[in-house]
Chain A
């Protein structure tokens, strides 16, 4: 390729161990990632394979036991509150369960206002802030007028998750970690949300780390795929390479487990 891609986020030997002694579990085991700018990268694995722990370490929400995380070539430093704030201006997340992602005591406006403030919009006039919020809402096909002064729990799950995307739209981070953002959503809203995520990626040119257990979904959205089994990366490469020509047995199993709607069920072998 003519354009050399810049590495945005990388890890080396990232390890997280919970507990001590005999009871210890290795949740993340010497993970090396190289994420390039503007790519969609999927991390695929079944429940308990350490995907979410890895995401939380990348976000700086929990501390790694060993290994390093490099952000734009520099070893990341999140030792003080200021530095963490700076880091979180660049890396943001959408969580799995929209119903537990919101503080039920805060109104929707305050969620969006927080994002505006974080992007240095604290001094803006009220009208300008409203205009920004309206823009963000219309990006995800929500009407700000219908949301203002409402509480998050008054929305549907799909609407909440779209509001999360609106939040990212306002924050414009360099990296977005989407931790199974569609697993709690019905199938119709799922496609909308995925489309909006892709639209957002094109809009603000960010890297998306897409964490999912659904390898089909990973194939649908991503450029790069990492397959994770019990804390280890067992296979990685471009989406076509990994999913169409899987090498690891685990990957093959994950692929064979995907229900295929067009194949007729052969009941004779059951």
Chain B
């Protein structure tokens, strides 16, 4: 036993797979201890906030100020306000207004703005300019106002009686707040989803729930498959015929179609994560049963089984003591594969909207489903679906790697 374990952990593939899986498990268990917020709390008013550090503007105004004289501050400010598209549009207008194309350099922000201030006139007629485009230039011009200004902004409060504004402070362009001194900031490493939930928290919880579903489904499937396979293989005769018949029936019907039908007929209200897991398990045992049966048939005529029979052991004891240990390594591998395929099955079901009840818990499949419904794919909001995709891929990759590693240890023909 110890020897086998040592051999398993000497297999490179298994160790890599196991490390990834252990890391995922560790994150899934530790993260909820650090972040106690419910994963389904809606924190963002709006959809798909991009990943980043969110600093409270209000609190940064009232936090201690530091004056930093940085040379490139103005250029950076301009650059962030003036996108490449805007620059090209400005160039287009300027050329339309009669300027030479060679004179305009869109990379020189200060010169471009100077030309724009000097020539732009909303009333000027440019040939071929649509109304929408004209309005766009008006808006652009308004947003550029004060961009080259060097003075700061005034802070004012409203007098509750008269409604008059009273200046309470100034913010200079060289004023800086230290992020660590701002009272409120929130790191949204993966932004928010379509409901305004923190994707990272949701992802970690979803991975945990998906793993639980996978493990429950894998255990159910392996247990059913193992029991039926052992019975069919060891007892043989009529029992074998009946079980093989049922197994073949399940093989002919695609299990995913069966899964969809069962899941649909259960109904939205009854579909908890556990129910879905059991349903996945109930449809996924077929191949395990077949493979176990084949292995048991080859084992049941071995001399050690005969010797056990001659020693007067009961069928139950022979199965548990003389058959099971010999197929245990195979069953462990089958269990790992079952878990990983159950996670994929859950994702498949949830994308179709037949996953667990949406108000309960997030699962990886549901995150994909939500991203799908709210068109995150089209809108390019990658943080809504890519992390979930990566989590699914990583979990099943690590499990398959472990499986291959185990296979190499237990199957001498595959040893390198």
Contact = CB atoms under 8 A, between A and B. Distances in A.
Interface string B323-334: 001100000000
A97 B301 CA distance: 13
A100 B325 contact: no
A252 to B, nearest CB: 33
Given A103-B321, A103-B322, A88 B307 contact: no
A153 B302 CA distance: 16
A114 B311 contact: yes
A61 B309 contact: yes
Nearest to A118: B312
A105 interface: yes
Contact of A118 (B303, B306, B311, B315): B311
A92 B326 CA distance: 24
Interface string A93-106: 10111001111111
A165 interface: no
Contact of B303 (A81, A84, A89, A95): A95
Interface in B265-308: 302-304, 306-308
Interface in A49-107: 56, 59, 61, 81, 84-85, 88-89, 92-93, 95-97, 100-106
A103 B312 CA distance: 15
Nearest to A85: B312
B190 to A, nearest CB: 48
A93 B310 contact: yes
Interface residues of B, number: 17
B20 to A, nearest CB: 31
Contacts, number: 50
Interface of B is mostly: helix
Given A95-B303, A97-B303, A103 B314 contact: no
Contacts of B308: 103
Nearest to A91: B310
A55 to B, nearest CB: 10
A102 B314 CA distance: 17
Contacts of B321: 103, 105-106
How many of chain A's residues touch chain B, expressed as a range?
Answer: 20 to 34
A218 interface: no
A115 interface: yes
Contact of B302 (A56, A84, A100, A106): A100
Interface string A26-67: 000000000000000000000000000000100101000000
A88 B308 CA distance: 11
A93 B311 contact: no
Nearest to B305: A103
A101 B321 CA distance: 14
Nearest to B325: A105
Given A81-B314, A106-B321, A101 B309 contact: no
Contacts of A92: 310
A96 B301 CA distance: 13
Contact of B312 (A88, A95, A97): A88
A61 B325 CA distance: 22
A204 to B, nearest CB: 17
A101 B312 contact: no
A81 to B, nearest CB: 7
A85 B318 CA distance: 14
B314 A100 contact: no
A101 B310 contact: no
A222 B304 CA distance: 27
Contacts of B302: 100
A149 to B, nearest CB: 14
A114 B308 CA distance: 9
Nearest to A102: B304
A100 B311 contact: no
Nearest to A89: B312
Nearest to B312: A85
Contacts of B311: 88, 114-115, 118
Contacts of A115: 311
Nearest to A81: B314
A103 B310 contact: no
- Top 10 A-B residue pairs of the complex, sorted by shortest distance between their CB atoms: A95-B303, A85-B312, A105-B325, A101-B303, A114-B311, A103-B304, A100-B303, A88-B310, A118-B312, A103-B322
Interface of A: 56, 59, 61, 81, 84-85, 88-89, 92-93, 95-97, 100-106, 114-115, 118
Interface of B: 302-304, 306-315, 321-322, 325-326
Given A61-B310, A100-B304, A104-B304, 15 more contacts: A59-B306, A88-B310, A88-B311, A88-B312, A89-B312, A92-B310, A93-B306, A95-B306, A101-B304, A102-B304, A103-B304, A103-B307, A105-B321, A105-B326, A114-B313
17 contacts: A61-B306, A61-B309, A61-B310, A81-B315, A84-B309, A84-B312, A93-B306, A93-B307, A95-B303, A95-B306, A96-B303, A100-B304, A101-B303, A103-B321, A104-B304, A105-B321, A118-B312
